Amino acid sequence: MISLAGRDILHTWGKFIFTGFGLGLLIGVTLIMAGVYRGMVDDAKVLMDNSGADLWVVQKDTLGPYAESSSIYDDLWRGISIMTGVARAANVTYLTMQVRHGDRDVRAMVSGIAAGGPGLPGWPPYLVSGRQITRGHYEAVADIATGFRLGDSIQIRRNQFTVVGLTRRMVSSGGDPMIFIPLKDAQEAQFLKDSYAIRQQRRRTAENPAFNRPGVPGLLDAVIASQSVNPFVNAVLVQVENGHRPEDIAQQIRKWKRLTVYTRPQMERILIGKLIATSSKQIGMFLVILAVVSAAIVAFIIYTLTLGKIREIAVLKLIGTTNRTIAFMILQQAVALGGIGFVVGKIAATFSAPFFPKYVLLEPLDSVSGFIAVVLICIISSIIAIRAALKVDPAEAIGG
């Protein structure tokens, strides 16, 4: 027996390729959507991995430092670092902002890292060029995706920083590239007000009789001095010594310091389960819509192709072709169309992924499930056409 579907496809290959191409672009968009979601998850994982932390110590009852704002005193890390089982602990700040470079600005997550050198949690684990920060002020390491180059001068709030090193794939959970600067500078950037605001604050403090007491000289100066330093950071990153369970250490810190502590699995749940939950639902909706649209297109095309063959189908039935053979022929054509579409879509997605502004991660496994979905959709959408074909009366071939 010869393949009727195959012959038909070869006969009308132009129509098939053309339709398959259109369907393919739709499938390509679907694969990209899935890739965007995977990219978001990967951004979150990369953020966790690159921080080098086993535990995140944050303000009590917050989901900080990435999903909610968190603020803790910058001297807490000392107490934590001397606890048994803690290898290293370091302050860290995160601030997403526009960073100025000449006349353009870049959205970036500025991270303040504690003095101490590479290997300390929060520091970029590797550089693609240049060197790590060595001075206590005004040096920066930037992700290559910011577009900055070594030696560039960038402006963060009122201060100028020199880019001394470049990293790759250091991003925030939102996909913004990261810039690392010394902790002190970052604290200043986060909390420092402009001079007008400072003057305002001083005036208010001076007008407050509680601080400005004639009998207590020096009190006003002390209060104002305490207002102009920023003793807060967003989190303390903790590395646990080998042989200790992070969960046990987390439990100790929670108990003694009255802070909230997250382990890696917990942080992963926050980043992926909470922070990008809405986005992933949004993408899920798009995937559903795209699947429905693809199904409608396949169904429509296969139905039209089948209607165009009613007479041939009647003849085939008259000369003894079984319903099964005819149904199988239509099914094969639908699946072939899906196959062409998938190949086109996969190629289109692979080549266009790098051009998307956010990271698009095309997982082979997603392609496999995408292919299975395409095949299933094609099978389901060929049902209408198959029903129409099975209803054709062989008597029609004999005519009136």
Partner 1 sequence: MAEKGIRIRGLKKRYGSGDTAVDALKKVDMTVTPGEVVGLIGPSGSGKSTLLKCLGAVIEPTGGQMVLGDHIIYDDGWKVKDLRALRRDRIGFVFQAPYLIPFLDVTDNVALPAMLAGSPNSDARKRAMDLLQALDVGHRAKAMPTQLSGGEQQRVSIARGLVNRPPVILADEPTAPLDSERAMAVIRILNNMAQKFETAIIVVTHDEKIIPTFKRIYHIRDGVTYEEKGKGRAFE
User: CA-to-CA distance for 199 and 205, rounded, in angstroms?
Assistant: 10
Question: What residues from 341 to 400 belong to the interface with Mg ion (CB under 5 A)?
Answer: 400
The one of partner 1, Mg ion, none whose footprint includes residue 316, by CB under 5 to 8 A per kind, is partner 1
DSSP characters for 24-85? HHHHHHHHHHHHHHHHHHHHHHHHHHHHT-SEEEESTT--TTTSS---EETTHHHHHHTSTT
Q: Which does 319 bind (CB under 5 to 8 A by kind): Mg ion, partner 1, none?
A: partner 1
Q: How far is the CB of 313 from partner 1 (least distance, A)?
A: 10
- Tell me whether residue 151 or residue 400 sits nearer to Mg ion (CB atom): 400
Measured from the CB atom, the residue of 110 and 316 that comes closer to partner 1 is 316
Residue with Cβ nearer partner 1 (155 or 321): 321
Give the position of tokens 């099975």. 390
181 — phi, psi (to 5°)?
A: -135, 165
Q: Point out which residues bind partner 1 (CB under 8 A).
A: 1-2, 4, 7-8, 10-12, 311-312, 315-322, 325, 393-395, 397-400
Contact between 218 and Mg ion per CB under 5 A: no
Q: Could you say which of Mg ion, partner 1, none residue 80 binds, taking C-beta under 5 to 8 angstroms by partner kind?
A: none
* Shortest reach from residue 18's CB to partner 1, in Å: 17
Instruction: Work out what residue 2 binds among partner 1, Mg ion, none; the CB cut-off runs from 5 to 8 Å by kind.
Output: partner 1
Q: Which pair of tokens denotes residue 252?
A: 């100790």
Taking CB within 5 to 8 Å according to partner kind, which of Mg ion, partner 1, none is near residue 321?
A: partner 1
Instruction: Name the residue nearer to Mg ion (CB basis): 354 or 400.
Output: 400
Q: Cα–Cα distance between 106 and 96 in angstroms, integer?
A: 10
CB nearer Mg ion, residue 102 or residue 400 = 400
Using CB under 5 A as the binding criterion, the count of chain residues that bind Mg ion stands at 1
What's the alpha-carbon Rg for the chain, to the nearest Å?
A: 31
Give whichever of 312 and 363 is closer to partner 1, judged by the CB atom: 312
Q: How many residues does the chain have?
A: 400
11 makes contact, choosing from partner 1, Mg ion, none, with CB < 5 to 8 Å by partner type, with partner 1
In this complex, which beta carbon is closest to partner 1, that of residue 1 or of residue 365? 1
Which among 232, 243, 251 has a CA at the least distance from the CA of 59? 232
**Nearest distance, CB of residue 107 and partner 1, angstroms:** 57
Beta-carbon contacts of residue 271 (< 8 Å; ≥ 6 apart)? 44, 45, 47, 48, 66, 67, 173
The β-bridge relationship of strands 178-182 and 104-113 is parallel
The minimum distance between CB 398 and partner 1, in angstroms, equals 5
Using alpha carbons, select from 97, 221, 85 the residue that is nearest to residue 155. 97
Whether cis (ω within 30° of 0) applies to the bond prior to 265 is: no
Q: How far is the CB of 26 from Mg ion (least distance, A)?
A: 47
Q: Applying CB under 5 A, which residues contact Mg ion?
A: 400
